[in-house]
Amino acid sequence: MDTLMADLKEQIVEQLNLQDIKPGDIGDDQPLFVEGLGLDSIDALELIVLLQQKYKIKISNAEDGPKVFRSVRTMAEYIKAHQPA
């Protein structure tokens, strides 16, 4: 789980081009959107594509989005639960 979260942090920083933020600066439970890391709706789309490309996971139910992308930990939990065998 820790390795997966570390990977996710690196991919988030790289994919979203978060300047002046290092992967280690992102807390496991830190909110990704609004008051936390300050991501927005375009970033949400980037994260959806990231899940599809890297982990072959498709978020089929749009209502799951806010729960899945709440933090790096919730993303990692969702990947663990849905990753193809």
Partner 1 sequence: MLYIRSTGSISPQKTFGQAPFLTDPIVYRGNRLNCIEPEYKEIIDAKLIRRMSRIIKMGVTAALECLKEAGLTQPDAIVTGTAYGCLQDTEVFLSRIVENKEEMLTPTAFIQSTHNTVGAQIALMLQCHNYNNTFVHRGFSFESALLDAMTLLLENPDHHVLVGGVDEITDTSHVILSRLGLYRQGAAAGEGATFFLLTGLPSPADYARLEAVSTFYNPRTTAAAEQSISSFLASQSIDIHDIDLILTGRNGDEKNDAVYQQLGETIFKGRPLADYKNLCGEYPTSTAFALWMAANILKTGQGPRKILIYNHYLNRHHSLFLVSAC
76: left (phi over 0), alpha (psi -120 to 50) or beta: alpha
Residues 82, 7 contacting (CB under 8 angstroms): no
Q: Which of 42, 62, 81, 85 binds partner 1 (CB under 8 A)?
A: 42
Q: Should residue 57 be labelled a site residue for partner 1 when binding is judged by CB under 8 A?
A: no
Nearest Cα to Cα of residue 67 among 78, 57, 58: 78
Q: Which is nearer to partner 1, 1 or 65 (CB)?
A: 65
CB of 1 to partner 1, least distance (A): 25
Q: Which is nearer to partner 1, 3 or 41 (CB)?
A: 41
